[in-house]
Amino acid sequence: MSYWGEYQSKLVSAAEAVRVIKSGDWIDYGSMNGQIVSLDQALAERKDELEDIKVWNLLNSFPAKILEADPRGETFTWNSWHLSGRDRNLIKNGRPVYYSSIRYSELPRYVREHIEPLAVAMLQVGPMDEHGYFNFGPQGSHTRAVCERAGVVILEINMNMPRCLGGYEEAIHISEVDYIVEGENPSLVQIPGSPPSEVDEKAARFIIEEMRDACCIQLGIGGMPNAVGRMIADSDLENLGCHTEMLVDAYVDMYEAGRLTNLKKKIDPGKIVYTFALGSQKLYNFINNNPRCAMYPVNYTNSPGIAALNDNLVSINNAIEVDLYGQVCSESAGTRIISGTGGQLDFVLAGYESRGGKSFVCLPSCNIGQAGNMISRIVPVLTSGAIVTDPRSVAQFIVTEYGMLEMKGKSVWQRAEGLISLAHPKARDDLVKSAEEQGIWRKSNKTL
C-alpha cells in the first residue's frame, strides 16, 4: 500500500477517533502549538459518557473545550508539566490544574519510564510528506517519547504547522500512527515581543557588559531575557551562537542583525539549536524548513553535559524572588504555582560548567502593589511554601536594575551584603535588620 493509501485508510472524523478513549484512561493532549483542537471539541462532547480521564499537557496553548465543559474537573483531570497563563487563569477561576515537578531535561525519560502508560496520545502535526512522515512542528520537547509510550496515536493535521528540521525525533511515520484527523488548521499561538521596560533595560546592560564575541546564548522566558536578546541585536558582538530550550523572536532579530552566525559553536556548528519555539509569525516563518535551525528533544538541548560542550555558554533566566542565602524561586508565589521549574536549573548548571560560560538569573528589585506599596523581590527568606528552583549552591550571577552579584565562593554574609545591594534602596534597611536577626550580617559590613 502506498503512503497515501495508508493515510486514507487511517483517516477518520474527530468524533470517531475519540471513541477509543475509555473511562479511567491516561491521555496526552499535545504540547504548545501541538495541542489538539478538533479532537478536543469532539472529546468535550463525550463528557457525560466518561469518567476519570487524566490528561497530560505542557504549556496549555488553546482554549481547551474539555475544561470549559467540565469546569470543576469532575470528568477530566488536567495535569501539566509547565503552566501557561491560560492555566493560571483556570486556577484563579477555581478550575483544578495539577502540576508535576520536573527537571525539563529529564522529561522524555519520565514519559518513557515513570508515568502511567498512556492509553491515547493526540497531537497536532504538519501534513504528511512524500516519505510518509508527519513533522511535529515547533515542539520537539518530549513529543516523540509520548508517541512511543501511547497505546494509540491520533494525529490532527494542521496545514499551518511549520516544518521544523532536526536534530532528531522531529517526526513520526505513518506506519506508527493509528488514526488521522484533518483538523481546523488553527493559526499558531502568537506571542509578539513586548517592548522592554526601563528596569529590564537597566538589568540587561549589566549582562551585556559580561558578554564577548562567540558567546553561545540561552534565553529563558520573560521580559529581561528578551530585553538582552534585543540589545544583543543592536550591539557590536560578533559570531554568537544559539543553544537554547525556547526559541523566541529575539533570536531572529539577532540573526537578521548579523550577530548570530553559530560558526564558533563547539557542537552543532552553524545551527540554531532549540527544543520548542513560541513567538510571533515572524519566528514561525523563520524556522519553517530552515536548515540553519535544528530542533532536538529536550533531553539533548537541556542536558547540562551536552549544552556545556559549547564554550562561553551564557544562560539568562528570570526569577520571582531571591532570598539572602541565594535561593532562587522562579516558579511559585508561596504555594501558588505560577509556571514550573522548566529548564532553568538545567541551564544554570550548564552555564557554569561551560568553559568560559556564565549563568545569570535576573529580576526587578521590586514590584509595586495595588495600593502603591513597594514589594521587594530580594527577600530575607523565601515566601512560605515557595519552591526553590535553583539551590543556593548552584546560582551564579544575580542581576537587578541596581547591579549584579556573583555568588560563587561567597560566604553567607558576603551573599547577604551583595544581594541587599541589589535590592531597591527603600528595602535595604529592613533587609539588613533581617540579616542581623538571622546571624548573617557582620558588624563590620559596609553601610549600604
Query: Rounded to an integer, what distance in angstroms lies between the CA atom of residue 158 and that of residue 181?
Result: 9
Grid cell for residue 192:
509578539
351 burial class (0-12, 13-18, 19+ CB within 10 angstroms)? buried
Grid cell for residue 112:
518513557
Contact 58, 31 (CB under 8 A): yes
Please name the residue that has the C-alpha cell 542536558: 303
Contact 31, 62 (CB under 8 A): no
Q: Mention every residue, 6+ apart, whose C-beta is less than 8 A from residue 198.
A: 401
Q: How many CB atoms lie within 10 A of CB 444?
A: 6
Secondary structure (DSSP) of 16-74: HHGGG--TT-EEEEEEGGGS-SHHHHHHHTTGGG---EEEEEES--S--HHHHH-TT-S
Query: Rounded to an integer, what distance in angstroms lies between the CA atom of residue 229 and that of residue 219?
Result: 8
Strand ranges (E), 269-422: 272-274, 276-277, 293-295, 313-318, 321-323, 328-329, 332-333, 336-337, 358-362, 366-368, 374-376, 378-379, 397-400, 403-406
Contact 106, 349 (CB under 8 A): no
Give the CA distances from residue 217 to residues 247, 358, 362, 385, 440, in Å, rounded to whole numbers and listed in that order: 11, 10, 15, 32, 35
Give the three-class secondary structure for 255.
helix
Grid cell for residue 386:
515557595
Active-site annotation holder among 245, 321, 331, 401? 245
Catalytic residue list contains 156: no
Query: Rounded to an integer, what distance in angstroms lies between the CA atom of residue 378 and that of residue 420?
Result: 7
Task: Give the residue numbers annotated as catalytic, written as ranges.
Answer: 245
